Amino acid sequence: MKLAALAISLSLLCSASASAAALQPVGVFEQPIFVTSDPGNPDRLFVAEREGKVIEVGSGGVAEFADLTSLVSCCASERGLLSIALAPDLDASGRFFAAFTGKVAAGGAEGDIHVDAFHREGGGLLREPILSIGHSVNANHNGGQLEFGPDGYLYVSTGDGGGGGDPFESGQSLSSLLGKILRLEPRAGADAAIWSYGLRNPWRFSFDRANGDMVIGDVGQGAREEIDLARSPAPGVVGGSGLNYGWNCREGFIAYTAPGASCAGAGGFTDPVFDYPHTDPEDGSAHGCAITGGYVVRDPSLGDLYGRYLYADFCAGEIRSLALPSVAGGVATDDRSEGLNVPSPVSFGEDSCGRVYVISQGGPVYRFTGATPADCTEPAAVTPSPTRPGARTPPGAVPAGTPIPAPVRLRVTLREAEGGSKPLLAVHVSPCAENRGTPVQLNRGGIAVATKRLDRHCTARFRVRAGEGRSTFRALLPSAGYRSQVLTIALAKPRP
């Protein structure tokens, strides 16, 4: 692995940016494929390398966090370590999740898709297999994004099985786990539920940290690249259940030229909110060959990028953003170049502070930065930078100069009950002054189980019943639409 500091002049990569955003080098790695952070420490970054290593970057320097190369099949076509997700209680449990194409040693055939959990035990790395999907015929279209949803479940994207034109007709088949977004419980041996389908190769999707919306970048065939949107209907709830995005009957907004037999008479497809062509329109609008889906920006230091969806194309290398629709059935607007270029952008990432990253396949990882550093300590109102001269404010965007309220931060901690067998969960909301007496909801496994009002210290306490195995909890502030991170704990039944 290459651990040298990045010394490339950004003037060679960046032109004048519409949003005044810049790219700050984080480091250079061996075929980096994804970047994320410790949920409790945004300055502790984890970079997944395609061959199977996970590299930790922090104040103490750069070190190898995990080595999965004995399990990962790399690097034929699109095979390799695809992405990782860190447990919300990483600091306590050391648990993380990985999506990868496997060697025979991982179980199954070479190239099968695996989603596993890992944690350290006795000085070694213990593997907990969660899901395995046959994918040995073709080495492309593996999908591979792994992300915790606002409901505490783990979501993973899968490609249609590879080849061209979906020869297995996986996209429209509900008997196949390929060409889908799947929902999993984050535990060994969990059953996979098909969440949404009709996807070709949803290489990257993300959740808007402000409202829980799911945004999917689905790589197209030979004509169109698309962005799909599934809105969250309520705090702590993931949208998009049962949606059919149309592949291989449709490609973007248009009918696919060689639809499968399953498309005869099919309908009820959910259109994308945006698509773009492979041919260059020569007017500065989006084009390319393979979309790299990104994130809705929630870093106030990035000025008028706040609230916009960042994305790129692997072939074009241009960083672009757009305004997602604010109403159901709407389409994205104000697609624009951000004046930043990264060779072969293979992935975006987001840390627990909301700062956004982009990865070049060649090795560099960059962080998006604004005129002032992002505040990752205490909440504070931030005024975004003015928009570029002559720019219009897109529908739903924050006008220049508008103070952006700081997020209400929910912190969930687990405390032992005094003199009882039921664990105690304490929810604290800050800042406190305007939230005393506000109802707080506790979800268990994505289902509401109790509601209490915050006391004068902005704290609410919940006793929970013990049960078998692990349970996931999340605290919600429904009045404001804010939510905590997910807390995963083991609740053993008391012995008789």
174: left (phi over 0), alpha (psi -120 to 50) or beta: alpha
Strands 424-430 and 459-463: antiparallel
Residue 334 CB neighbour total at 10 angstroms: 15
Residue 404 CB neighbour total at 10 angstroms: 15
Residue 62's beta-bridge partner residues? 57
Q: What's the pLDDT tens digit per position in 13-47?
A: 333 345 579 999 999 999 999 999 999 999 999 99
Alpha-carbon distances, residue 406 vs 299, 400, 422, 479 (angstroms): 10, 16, 34, 15
Please list, residue by residue across 196-212, b when 16 or more beta carbons sit within 10 angstroms of its beta carbon and e when fewer do. Answer: bbbbbbbbbbbbbbbbb
pLDDT score for 486: 67
268: left (phi over 0), alpha (psi -120 to 50) or beta: left
Q: Are 381 and 402 in contact (CB under 8 A)?
A: no
pLDDT score for 14: 37
Q: Are 338 and 18 in contact (CB under 8 A)?
A: yes
Kindly state the tokens that stand for 230.
Answer: 């599934």
Q: What's the pLDDT tens digit per position in 301-320?
A: 999 999 999 999 999 999 99
| Residues 6+ away with beta carbon under 8 Å from 184 | 115, 130, 131, 153, 154, 155, 156, 190, 191, 192, 193
Residue type at 103 in one-letter notation? K
> Which one, of 337, 472, 485, lies nearest residue 407 by Cα?
485
**Does the structural domain 10-369 have CATH classification 3.10.110.10?**
no
Q: Are 199 and 141 in contact (CB under 8 A)?
A: no
Domain segments of the chain: what residues?
Answer: 10-369, 409-490
pLDDT score for 264: 93
Q: Are 293 and 205 in contact (CB under 8 A)?
A: yes
Residue ranges, the chain, pLDDT below 70? 1-19, 377-422, 446, 466-469, 479-483, 485-486, 490-496
Kindly state the tokens that stand for 377.
Answer: 């300590």
Please provide the DSSP assignment of 148-174 as one string: E-TTS-EEEEE---SSSS-TT--TT-T
pLDDT score for 274: 98
> Which one, of 417, 407, 410, 406, lies nearest residue 460 by Cα?
410
Architecture of the domain whose range is 409-490: Sandwich (2.60)
Residue 450's beta-bridge partner residues? 442
Residue 48's beta-bridge partner residues? 34, 54
Q: What's the pLDDT tens digit per position in 398-432?
A: 333 333 333 444 556 555 545 455 678 888 887 78
> Which one, of 21, 23, 19, 22, lies nearest residue 389 by Cα?
19
- Determine what percent of the chain falls in helix, strand and coil, rounding each to the nearest 5: 5, 40, 55
| Residues 6+ away with beta carbon under 8 Å from 12 | none
